[in-house]
Structure 1
């Protein structure tokens, strides 16, 4: 993505980070907290039906492009239009710290 394409980032997304704590029952609980909100370009990549845990689920993948930031990783999740996406990979395509492209996955959409 070029700097001149920044106008294509029209979707508002929230980046969340994962924290693990031990709950009252002594079990590990995963909590998600907001790290930040930014503008993004979201582009569908593929959708497939897969069998997970004995049932058919829809798996959709998207590419999300945002301005460069250091708090997005494969341990993050993205909230977009009240939907939750797991981050599968994060790439600084030009390695110039301008933009990041993250592959997102949504299961059972």
Structure 2
């Protein structure tokens, strides 16, 4: 399967969680650091609403295809259209090394 450039029609940000320790207090703080902005194909697979802690939360499952990168890991997140998507699995095109599919969802976690 050949990856067509026209199918990558959305800009997304790849971010990783970085922990830093304050030299004075020793407190650990977590921040998201941008790794790259890349072209992607974003496909919404499904969405649900759930009840969590007496609050309705919407969640969506999304597949995001980007050009092949060997550095993306499931601890990262994707930011698209003001939404943070948690990367659940990184599914590379191991044979052709043309693309990587990122299985993602929205929901409550560090993203």
TM over 0.5: yes
Runs of 4+ in 1 over 6 A off after TM superposition: none
Residues 16-55 of structure 1: matches in 2 within 5 Å?
Answer: 16-23=15-22, 26-55=26-55
- Alpha-carbon deviation of 1:71? 2.5
Q: CA deviation at 1:106?
A: 1.5
For structure 2, the 5+ residue unaligned runs are none
* TM-score, with length taken from structure 1: 0.84
Superposition CA RMSD, Å: 1.9
The answer on whether the counterparts of 1:35 and 1:71 sit within 8 Å (CA) in structure 2 is: no
For residues 48-81 of structure 1, give each alpha carbon's deviation from its aligned partner in whole angstroms, at most 9, with x where no partner exists. Answer: 1122233221111110000111221111111112
Aligned length: 107
The TM-score, its normalising length taken from structure 2, stands at: 0.83
Which sits farther off after the overlay, 19-28 or 76-85?
19-28
Deviation at 1:8, TM superposition (A): 0.8
> Which segment is superposed worse, 19-28 or 62-71?
19-28
